Amino acid sequence: MLSGMMFPIRCFSCGAPIADKWERFVEGIEAGEDPGKVLDRLGITRYCCRRMFLSHVEYFEEIVQFDSWFGKSR
Amino acid sequence: MQASIIQEDEQKIKLLFRGIPLSVLNSIRRIIINEVPVMAVDDVLIIENTSSMMNEVLAYRISLIPFVTDLDNYRLPETCDCKSKLGCEKCTARFSIKAVANESPITVYSRDIKPVGDTGIVGPINGDFPIVKLAPGQAIELELYVRLGKGKMHAKWQPAIATLSYDDDSKYLFIESFGFLEPRRIILEAVKIFEEITNELSQTMIDSLRGEKLENEEGKVSTSNPSN
């Protein structure tokens, strides 16, 4: 299992904390806003941090769902 | 020699220097990244983890969350006199996380990190970091030991981004804090550490040169400059 399942806490290149802005970014693009404009609004200015948002695929929820059907449980 | 602040807010600071060598400013820049101590989770005790995330991935994600740092009341574990592996109240702040998903799935955030005892101002920089998602029936229970550390030991302790640019005699030092400390405090700490390092260096050089001089008087072969 990779740490890539959930959005990374920090930018891979510069190390700035970015995960706290992830949910606001998703809310923005789900509302139909332009992804670049959302990032500008959230104050993500460097392109190393911007690509973290734009290229991320969140598939942790699918694994959670899989585990809740077939996996370990208490 | 001249220094002035040309831009400042609670996150960033930009300074202008004139008449200071670039190499000295670069030392300060590198000290900001490598040497200024800040706080992050250093040890994680996993009491329960039935989540879909493995123990080490979970601990790694938590360790990358920046913690508001109290430099005046905490010491680096290696300079603390407790000599304990788990640390004492002067070098370690204790936190815990406990989360259970009952009927519906939940997301565990950094706001669920709760202090154990009095930790003062120490705590996650904000509560919005998603740590893990839990399906119904899954649970995590962790104990976290937060300690001071330096960027050269692990990137989780890097306090800021620091860049240096120049234009003729004007040098610009730009610092973007990650939230551990205020940008001003980061520079002041870096300058203090720079002074300590240079003092230590000159003291070692003086001591070793004196040592060679003594050997000279005893009639041994010297490798130092004969004009001294």
Q: Which residues of A touch B134 (CB under 8 A)?
A: 64
CA atoms within 13 A on the CB side of B91: 17
Interface test with A, best of B11, B32, B52 (most A CBs within 10 A): B52
In degrees, rounded to 5, the angle at the alpha carbon of residue B150 between the alpha carbons of residues B76 and B153 is: 110
pLDDT at position B59: 96
pLDDT one digit per residue (tens) for chain A, 74 residues: 444 589 999 999 999 999 999 999 999 999 999 999 999 999 999 999 999 999 999 888 888 888 777 765 54
Tens-digit pLDDT profile for residues B149-177: 999 999 999 999 999 999 988 999 999 99
Query: What strand order describes the sheet that includes B170-177?
Result: B2-8, B12-18, B170-177, B160-167
What mean pLDDT is predicted for residues B58-87? 92
Dist CA B159 CA B133 (whole Å): 28
pLDDT at position A60: 86
Fold adopted by A19-71: Arc Repressor Mutant, subunit A (1.10.10)
| 3 state SS for A18-53 | CHHHHHHHHHHHHCCCCHHHHHHHHCCCCHHHHHHH
Instruction: Please indicate whether, in this complex, the C-beta atoms of B65 and A17 are within 8 angstroms of each other.
Output: yes
Mean residue pLDDT of chain B comes to 91
The pLDDT confidence band at residue B216, using thresholds 50, 70 and 90, is: low
pLDDT at position A48: 96
Has residue B225 got a pLDDT over 60? no
Residues of chain A numbered 39-68 and touching chain B (CB < 8 Å): 60-61, 63-68
pLDDT at position B6: 93
What mean pLDDT is predicted for residues B47-68? 94
Has residue B228 got a pLDDT over 50? no
Q: How many residues does chain A have?
A: 74
* Closest partner CB to B135 (pick from A1, A15, A65): A65
Domains in chain A: boundaries: 19-71
Tens-digit pLDDT profile for residues B102-149: 888 899 999 999 999 999 999 999 999 999 999 888 999 999 999 999
| 3 state SS for chain B | CEEEEEEECCCEEEEEEECCCHHHHHHHHHHHHHCCCEEEEEEEEEEEECCCCCHHHHHHHHHCCCEECCCCCCCCCCCCCCCCCCCCCCCEEEEEEEEECCCCCEEEEHHHCEECCCCCCCEECCCCCEEEEECCCCEEEEEEEEEEECCCCCHHHCCEEEEEEEECCEEEEEEEECCCCCHHHHHHHHHHHHHHHHHHHHHHHHHHHHHHHHHHHCCCCCCCCCCC
Has residue B190 got a pLDDT over 60? yes
